[in-house]
Structure 1
Amino acid sequence: MLAAIALAQVALTASARAADCPRKDALGTSRVLEVDPATYPRVGLKSFPQTLPLEDHEVVLTFDDGPTPGKTDKVLTALAAECVRATFFMVGLNATEYPDMVRKVARLGHTIGYHSWDHPHLNKPTTDEAEANINRGIAAVEKALNGTASTIPSTPFFRFPYFEQTPQLLDRLQKRGIAVFGADFWASDWVKMTPEEELKLLTGRLEVARKGILLLHDPQQRTDDMLPAFLRYLHDHNYRIVHIVPASMKTVSERTH
């Protein structure tokens, strides 16, 4: 409960900062979208038939596998320069090693989701073993955020490593009120390439998709180096950033934007 209150306060502060963005030509965050797991239990067209209700040229930025000092910092700097909010699906092991980074991401107004304890192939073990790994990851991020290792997530957003979900795990998470995120498109930033090559690949895919949930990885140096140019591309081509939050986190102030 304390974590939910703290994150709601962060969201309110972030909204105020976005409204007063010092850069007049910044990309900015266009709107805040409430995501209710009861309505959107599984989203992302790469894995599921449903995705978020986005309009043409709207993009949701998501980053997996952090936090990683230095690299996640660089992503946060690029996002701050454009007054943009994103969602970070964090690995519990990294959150345990770098709790200050978890709190920094939250303090800057970004949404935090979960990405297992140690990024395993969750379709390989038993369902109980896989859920235990998920819970350990949730507890690690929660402990970093508020000092209590709870398996009840403050933000009910989860993404499977490698998108390797099973019907049994999907059912269990849905019963717990946790939305599972896939993606609508990505930059394939796990493949060796230059930042320039990644930017070309990503913008080409975006022009085909025209909107959607974008998957990137903050520990990937090529993505960190590419991100400022990509955000400028979004600005220059009239794309708009949507910041996702749980339904219970959206504040009265944000409803007016």
Structure 2
Amino acid sequence: MIALRTALVAIVACTTAAHAADCPRAGALGTSRTLAVDAAQYPRVGLKSFAKTLPLDDREVVLTFDDGPWPPTTAKVLAALAKECVHATFFLIGKSASAHPELVRRIAAEGHTVGHHSWQHRILRRLKPAEAAGEIDHGISAVETALHGVATTAPGTPFFRFPGFASTPATLDLLRSRGIVVFGADLWASDWNPMTPMQQLKLLTDRLKRARKGIILLHDSKAQTAAMLPAFLNYLKDNNYRVVHVVPAGTEKKPDPLPSAASLSPAEKRD
């Protein structure tokens, strides 16, 4: 048992060192580990909507962003994440992905996970089952076209989040039958409500102090969130939180790319 425990500690240490070596900026928050999510084991995650969430340790967080891509703000979010060598998951709206395919490809190229958030953010609970399924498939196809130039309803990353978390038993069963993980959230910044970046930061950090870990929902389409994010990443770093990057099972061995120079200002590149 002692030998096994020693080996496990060594593995964790090597993983941490590898992540640190990937980041060119000393003192950055970084991404502590990659978590492969198996749809069979975790078909639905997020305690705000479901009974189960991801297997996170104390002070581990998963950063997720909804409703992009939106050029004025998504680019600022990407820059903040790149400066801290942090990887997140973006649940993209298909219609926006079709309008800004270059930004979808940039999100993926910078090592983030690209998930799906329907075609145009309609509340699927209010639609007939066939219409709701069409919204899901149209959104997946649009994101896949933006990423790979091929229209397909088989997502390369089988992660989906319902607009407004408004699922139904039928749509949940449909996604489970297709091996698509449904993401809820464990806590959020309520950034759909107007507030200042500092108000949002306090709201989010107060909630995180109580939760201590979890899947965090933010919106990269919101200017207040883009403005708040650098301070929030500093808060995570100063308070010994660790960022976990989620990927589909089977893809976790791919190396994380370095932050893109396009994400950084000239001053940041010199750091």
- CA-to-aligned-CA distance 1:90-135 (integer Å, 9 cap, x gap): 0000000000000000000000000000000100111111011000
Q: What residue is the counterpart of 1:176 in the other structure?
A: 178
Inter-partner Cα distance in structure 2 for 1:170 and 1:85: 27
Inter-partner Cα distance in structure 2 for 1:23 and 1:230: 18
Q: What residue is the counterpart of 1:38 in the other structure?
A: 40
How far off its partner does 1:19 sit?
A: 2.9
Q: What residue is the counterpart of 1:97 in the other structure?
A: 99
- CA-to-aligned-CA distance 1:182-239 (integer Å, 9 cap, x gap): 0000000011100000000000000000000000000100000000000000000000
Residue 229 of structure 2 is aligned to residue 238 of structure 1: no
Determine what percentage of the aligned residue pairs are the same residue. 62
- Output the amino acid matched with 2:40: A
How far off its partner does 1:253 sit?
A: 5.9
Q: Matched residue of 1:72: which SS?
A: helix
1:83-232 to 2 correspondences below 5 Å? 83-232=85-234
How far off its partner does 1:86 sit?
A: 0.1
Q: TM-score, normalised by structure 1?
A: 0.91
Unaligned 5+ segments in structure 2 are 1-16, 257-271
Q: Which runs of structure 1 show a deviation greater than 4 angstroms over 4 or more consecutive aligned residues?
A: 15-18
Q: Matched residue of 2:125: which SS?
A: coil
Q: What residue is the counterpart of 1:9 in the other structure?
A: none
Q: Matched residue of 2:68: which SS?
A: coil
Residue 57 of structure 2 is aligned to residue 55 of structure 1: yes
Q: What residue is the counterpart of 1:80 in the other structure?
A: 82
- Output the amino acid matched with 2:30: G
Q: Cα RMSD over matched residues?
A: 1.4
Q: What residue is the counterpart of 2:6 in the other structure?
A: none
Q: TM-score, normalised by structure 2?
A: 0.87
Inter-partner Cα distance in structure 1 for 2:38 and 2:189: 27
User: 29, 32, 39: which one pairs with 2:31?
Assistant: 29
Unaligned 5+ segments in structure 1 are 1-14
- Output the amino acid matched with 1:220: K
Inter-partner Cα distance in structure 2 for 1:162 and 1:38: 24
- Output the amino acid matched with 2:206: G
Determine if contact 2:19/2:31 at 8 Å carries over to the other structure.
Answer: no
Q: What residue is the counterpart of 2:71 in the other structure?
A: 69
Bigger Rg, which one: 2
